[in-house]
């Protein structure tokens, strides 16, 4: 099944927190948002851990982090799709700890914190129903027919209050059993063959979404720290010589601050960069040094030698949390 790709939105939040000044007014909100996205990814990893033991008869595929355009105004995102000859199961992962109250009008989940405050979560049942409706529309537009069901897999141990008996909630530990039972009891005699559906999904999958920082978070490029940053304290490194860097707090920097800064630029500023822009962003004093670092990673090269630019594609140029090195 391979390793689940590191989420692009999580990478962007990490870059934002690294590049925002300590007194930035949005820093605490970004840190809180980062924790929530990290929890979501942790839930997805838990689901994946238990899915590894899944054994089903016939043909079946597991598709992860799928984004499909339903219409001009709507793109649906799916954590995990189990596609079989007997139907499709949408699996949504949740990492929400503690005692959860299910409430109606409007439908939601609530958790009472230790200080007495109430934290509200969107209703996972409504989310799942919207996804089922979107996937049904997507299949119908292409002349496909497939039975669709879904579950919400909770990766933490929870206590429930007011939960409907038919709520599609399961523990990740139950997931393999629940999925085997769903598929065994399902029948989809007129459904489109699973391999045809999988091929079409993969052909039209949009890939990870690069969020526009200015539009989504209201933070502009000039608000981010420039320069090469220390991987330990996120402080700005200073040049001791034209080749030697030092962190005023931690001493000699470890890792590769050049490539981390390049990835920060792609995630926060623009997916296309010139050598001059890279040098201005990082403070690299030499154009030739900047070009050498740009040429050391896999990127699309645009334009002629005199007007060369480099374009970042997260689908092809990322491995985990780092840019792919050229061999």
pLDDT value of residue 233: 87
% pLDDT > 90, the chain = 63
Instruction: With 0.75 as the threshold, say if the pTM is over it.
Output: yes
Helix or strand run (H / E) with residue 77: strand 74-84
* Whether residue 267 has pLDDT greater than 70: yes
pLDDT value of residue 225: 94
pLDDT band at 246 (very low <50, low <70, confident <90, very high): confident
Q: Contact, 102 vs 109, CB < 8 A?
A: yes
Terminal Cα distance for the chain, rounded: 26
* Whether residue 127 has pLDDT greater than 90: yes
**Cβ-based neighbour number of residue 230 at 10 Å:** 24
| Tens-place pLDDT, residues 148-200 | 999 999 998 888 999 988 899 999 999 988 898 888 777 777 889 999 999 99
d(CA 212, CA 223): 15
Owner of token pair 């689908």: 315
Q: What is the mean pLDDT of residues 275-289?
A: 93
Q: Contact, 213 vs 12, CB < 8 A?
A: yes
Q: Contact, 83 vs 127, CB < 8 A?
A: no
Nearest to 41 by CA among 320, 266, 324: 320
* Whether residue 261 has pLDDT greater than 70: yes
Name every residue whose Cβ is closer than 8 Å to that of residue 25 and which is 6 or more positions away in sequence.
none
Q: Token pair for residue 48?
A: 């994946």
Mean pLDDT of the chain: 90
pLDDT value of residue 254: 63
d(CA 38, CA 20): 19
Q: Contact, 59 vs 67, CB < 8 A?
A: no
Q: What is the mean pLDDT of residues 75-101?
A: 92
Assign a CATH topology to domain 225-323.
Answer: Arc Repressor Mutant, subunit A (1.10.10)
Name every residue whose Cβ is closer than 8 Å to that of residue 170 and which is 6 or more positions away in sequence.
151, 152, 153, 154, 178
The full set of domain ranges for the chain reads: 8-204, 225-323
* Chain Cα centroid distance, residue 51: 19
* Whether residue 2 has pLDDT greater than 70: no
CA atoms within 13 A on the CB side of 247: 17
Q: What is the mean pLDDT of residues 276-291?
A: 93
Helix or strand run (H / E) with residue 231: none
| Tens-place pLDDT, residues 12-44 | 999 999 999 999 999 999 999 999 999 999 999
């Amino acid at each position: 099944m391979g390793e689940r790709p590191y989420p692009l939105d999580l990478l962007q939040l990490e870059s934002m927190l690294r590049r925002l000044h300590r007194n930035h007014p949005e820093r605490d909100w970004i840190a809180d948002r980062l924790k929530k996205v990290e929890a979501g990814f942790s839930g997805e990893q838990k689901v994946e851990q238990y899915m590894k033991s899944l054994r089903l008869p016939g043909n079946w595929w597991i598709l992860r982090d799928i984004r499909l355009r339903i219409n001009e105004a709507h793109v649906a995102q799916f954590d995990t799709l189990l596609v079989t000859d007997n139907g499709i199961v949408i699996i949504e992962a949740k990492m929400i700890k503690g005692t959860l109250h299910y409430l109606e009008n409007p439908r939601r989940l609530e958790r009472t914190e230790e200080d007495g405050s109430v934290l509200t979560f969107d209703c996972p049942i409504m989310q799942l129903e919207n996804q089922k409706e979107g996937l049904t529309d997507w299949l119908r537009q292409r002349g496909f027919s497939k039975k669709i069901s879904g579950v919400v897999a909770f990766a933490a141990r929870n206590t429930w209050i007011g939960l409907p008996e038919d709520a599609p909630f399961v523990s990740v530990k139950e997931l393999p059993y629940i999925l085997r039972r769903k598929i065994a009891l399902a029948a989809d005699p007129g459904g489109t063959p699973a391999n045809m559906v999988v091929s079409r999904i993969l052909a039209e999958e949009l890939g990870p979404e690069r969020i526009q920082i200015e539009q989504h978070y209201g933070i502009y490029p000039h608000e981010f720290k420039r320069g090469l940053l220390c991987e330990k304290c996120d402080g700005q490194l200073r040049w001791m010589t034209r080749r030697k860097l030092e962190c005023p707090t931690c001493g000699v920097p470890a890792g590769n601050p050049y490539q981390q800064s390049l990835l920060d630029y792609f995630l926060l500023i623009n997916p296309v960069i010139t050598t001059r822009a890279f040098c201005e962003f990082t403070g690299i004093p030499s154009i030739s040094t900047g070009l050498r670092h740009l040429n050391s990673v896999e990127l699309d090269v645009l334009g002629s030698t005199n007007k060369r630019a480099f374009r970042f594609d997260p689908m092809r140029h990322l491995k985990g949390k780092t840019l792919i090195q050229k061999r």
